Amino acid sequence: MSVAAPINITVVTDKAKISPVNAKERPFPLEWTRNIGIAAHIDAGKTTTTERILFYSGAVHKMGEVHEGTTVTDWMEQERERGITITAAAISCAWNASWGPWKGIKQRINIIDTPGHVDFTAEVERSLRVLDGAVAVFCAVAGVQPQSETVWRQANKYRVPRIAFINKMDRTGANFYRAIDEMREKLKANAHALFLPIGAEENFTGLIDLVQNVAYAFEDDTKDPLGLNPQTMPIPADMAAKAKEYREKLIEAVCDFDDVIAEKYLGGQEVTVEELMLGVRKATISLQFTGVIPGSAFKKKGVQRLLDCVVNYLPSPIDVPPMRGQDSDGKEVAATVDDKGKMAGLAFKLWNDPFVGKLVFFRVSRLVLMRAIEREEIDLAYSGDICAVVGVKDVITGDTLCDEDFDIRLEPPSFPEPVISMSIEPNSKGDQEKMGTALQRLVAEDPTLRVKTDPDTGQTILAGMGELHLDIIRDRMKREFKVEATAGKPQIAYRETVAKAADGEGKFIRQSGGKGQYGHVVVKLEPNEKGKGIEVINEIVGGVIPKEFIKPSTDGILEGANNGVVAGYPVVDVKVRIVDGSFHEVDSSELAFKMAGIFAFKEAMKKAHPILLEPIMGVEVTTPEEYQGDLMGDINRRRGQIQGMENKAGACIIAAHVPLETLFGYVTDIRSLSKGRASASITPSHFEQVPNSLLTKIVETSTKAPART
């Protein structure tokens, strides 16, 4: 047994002993604050869980329901109509833990409810960048689903400690233990139960708290329709052995993070409730342990225990490392959480409010405390707070707002590239003017939405993360900005790359009687690792190209890579070395070397066996077994490759890789094939070479064209 590096955590129960980084007038000390996100696959129950949290904490006085369109955090018209979350919503509440060191001490919990649909994954990405902890919600029937894996990777990327809530334990086919096994297998998570369910499906009647060694029984709907009064009781005799077994497993897992527990466990001594609670907190904050809680948000079961776990196990802002950034010289700088320190905040979200205009959401800010779409004006915000500022101009997602004398740029969130595009045309001249304003605002809000003008057709092209993403954008243009527009057929975001290395030489020489133009660049082009993008390396020695012309040469190469030589699509995953060239004392200029860089790149790419790549999507279809054959045949007709199949809770789950080009309207098609009983989840997977049989057709129908050479 190896003990992990010690984790420093803060347990302060006396306000007189809080850290000096807290301002005296701060209503909730940092030690009594939690900034968390609720994240999961679509339909796992995130928004319902958030709604129950708000009700039990007293933030709202009536529970809203997703299917009724009455939830607080799903406030957009499109969200309420479609029953899905589209944009991340921030809201705050307070909770008194029912047990633990903070029992009786009201804790501030700032919550961001995030979308589960893959088209809106950027909302999850930017939210996790500013959170201290997260609750990952899983469906007890479906287990770990594709977007669950994406969200988990994003949380790993930003080093966000998390606990897991296995929701929908009341559903037919619910299996708590299988869900934990899938977390370990698919997510490589060190997942361990903090509670055990008493029963499952319609017999889900209670929870066993493995830390406290007590049980909670839920009353039936007639006696306690709001789930306000779960009864504490001894562990049922028929589950005593199982509870003992899983408590031993929990203690053994926590030993790696706590010396006291490890020593007692090896010595055969009893571990106290307080010691185990502290050990689980240390393990969770270490990022190497995930505690798991079963429940049913819709049936109002287990949500109060989840809130206890948020307070007891997830970190406060001073339990996690400070945000890191760089100064103007590229040196690392820390933005420590301190009310008396210099202000630095990361703008992680922009929103256009119809009443107050542009809102900039960022952590550590002033003026507006957000409650989903509602605003509460404030005069002062403290370190660690998540707020919004009204009326700030020229700020985009990822910008750092800081004191003038604090030289820091915090690391911004990163976002995936768009995979699909479509043309959009205004229906009238009046709409054309309004459309420009609308798109400008929408692009500022959404980092995954791109807008450009096709140089050949003059059309406006929208690029985004999927059909639903672009459909929502079009709908918002109509409702919020009153723009009537017609959309063209979606287009695929193809890419180009090379299969072998090649040399290229570019010369730009013009003589027109006076000062001419002279640029000469020689490059070596070779394939790069997948996902590395374009790397340009300067290997010029001896000054054959002066330093001042290296950057224009590089700019020319990058510009040339915007339009490949196969069908005019952007080039990815190539490495370009600038190895030689020449210059003229009088005629050389930045423009000449930029043009020479373009020509050198194009020549090299033509020789390097250029290939066209198409986006491949990961498709997971859940269907009753009687439709399995039809749906597999449909996948094969779409040039898909079956990756695997499994049976779960009476349904067949088919995993496949399918080209995006064949997936337009796919969800509608599988509903027809299965009489409405199958569902599908589609996530970006990777790029693959387009088959030669389709290459000519794609090149001919493309509105693009290779750039000039």
Q: How many residues does the chain have?
A: 709
Could you give the CA distance from residue 399 to residue 402 in angstroms, rounded to a whole number?
A: 10
Which amino acid, one-letter code, is at 630? D
Q: What is the mean pLDDT of residues 316-322?
A: 87
Q: What is the mean pLDDT of residues 316-330?
A: 85
**289 pLDDT exceeds 90?**
yes
Which stretches within 29-90 are classed as H helix?
46-56, 77-82
Dihedral angle computed from the Cα positions of residues 689, 693, 697 and 698, in that order, rounded to the nearest 10 degrees: -10
For tokens 């003589």, the residue is: 511
Neighbours of 460 (CB within 10 A): 20
Angle of CA points 252, 256, 258, to nearest 5°: 100
Q: What is the mean pLDDT of residues 458-482?
A: 85
pLDDT, one tens digit per residue, over 575-617 is 999 999 999 988 899 999 999 999 999 999 999 999 999 999 9
Q: Could you tell me the domains of the chain?
A: 30-313 (3.40.50.300), 329-410 (2.40.30.10), 420-493 (3.30.70.870), 496-608 (3.30.230.10), 614-701 (3.30.70.240)
pLDDT, one tens digit per residue, over 634-653 is 999 999 999 999 887 678 89
Which amino acid, one-letter code, is at 488? G
Taking phi first (over 0 means left), then psi (-120 to 50 degrees means alpha), and beta for anything else, what does residue 543 get?
left
Contact 384, 130 (CB under 8 A): no
Does 342 or 629 have the greater pLDDT score? 629
**375 pLDDT exceeds 70?**
no
pLDDT, one tens digit per residue, over 395-417 is 888 888 888 888 888 888 888 77
**300 pLDDT exceeds 50?**
yes
pLDDT band at 294 (very low <50, low <70, confident <90, very high): very high
Q: What is the mean pLDDT of residues 30-48?
A: 87
Q: What is the rounded average pLDDT for all residues in the chain?
A: 85
Q: Classify strands 534-538 and 574-582 as parallel, antiparallel or unpaired.
A: parallel
Give me the sign of the Cα torsion angle 59, 62, 63, 69: negative
pLDDT band at 250 (very low <50, low <70, confident <90, very high): very high
Among 184-188, 330-334, 465-469, the range with the most confident prediction by mean pLDDT is 184-188
Dihedral angle computed from the Cα positions of residues 639, 641, 646 and 647, in that order, rounded to the nearest 10 degrees: 10
Could you give the CA distance from residue 22 to residue 341 in angstroms, rounded to a whole number?
A: 10
Dihedral angle computed from the Cα positions of residues 314, 317, 320 and 326, in that order, rounded to the nearest 10 degrees: 150
**492 pLDDT exceeds 80?**
yes
Return the pLDDT at 244. 94
pLDDT, one tens digit per residue, over 78-90 is 766 777 766 777 7
pLDDT band at 190 (very low <50, low <70, confident <90, very high): very high
Q: What is the mean pLDDT of residues 494-513?
A: 90
Return the pLDDT at 428. 86
**Residue 631: helix, strand or coil by DSSP?**
helix
Does 363 or 551 have the greater pLDDT score? 551
pLDDT, one tens digit per residue, over 662-680 is 988 787 788 788 877 787 8
Range 613-623 burial, b when 16+ CB lie within 10 A, else e: bbbbbbbbbbb
Return the pLDDT at 3. 43
Contact 503, 622 (CB under 8 A): no
Instruction: Give a three-class secondary structure readout of 640-702.
Output: CEEEEEEEECCEEEEEEEEEHHHCCCHHHHHHHHCCCCCEEEEEEEEEEECCHHHHHHHHHHC
Q: How far is CA 279 from CA 3, 190, 265, 272, in A?
A: 12, 15, 12, 11
**5 pLDDT exceeds 70?**
no
Name residue 110's beta-bridge partners. 35, 92
pLDDT band at 365 (very low <50, low <70, confident <90, very high): very low
**360 pLDDT exceeds 60?**
yes
Which stretches within 546-665 are classed as H helix?
550-560, 590-607, 628-637
For residue 572, what is the DSSP state? -
Return the pLDDT at 630. 92
Taking phi first (over 0 means left), then psi (-120 to 50 degrees means alpha), and beta for anything else, what does residue 421 get?
beta
Could you give the CA distance from residue 457 to residue 636 in angstroms, rounded to a whole number?
A: 35
pLDDT, one tens digit per residue, over 118-173 is 777 778 888 888 888 999 999 999 898 877 888 898 899 889 999 999 999 999 99
Q: Which residues in 175-278 belong to E strands, given as ranges?
A: 191-193, 195-198, 206-209, 214-217, 231-233
Return the pLDDT at 1. 42
CA atoms within 13 A on the CB side of 370: 31
For residue 201, what is the DSSP state? G
Does 539 or 381 have the greater pLDDT score? 539
For residue 118, what is the DSSP state? G
Range 286-311 burial, b when 16+ CB lie within 10 A, else e: bbebbbbbbbbbbbbbbbbbbbbbbb
Contact 104, 96 (CB under 8 A): yes
Return the pLDDT at 7. 60
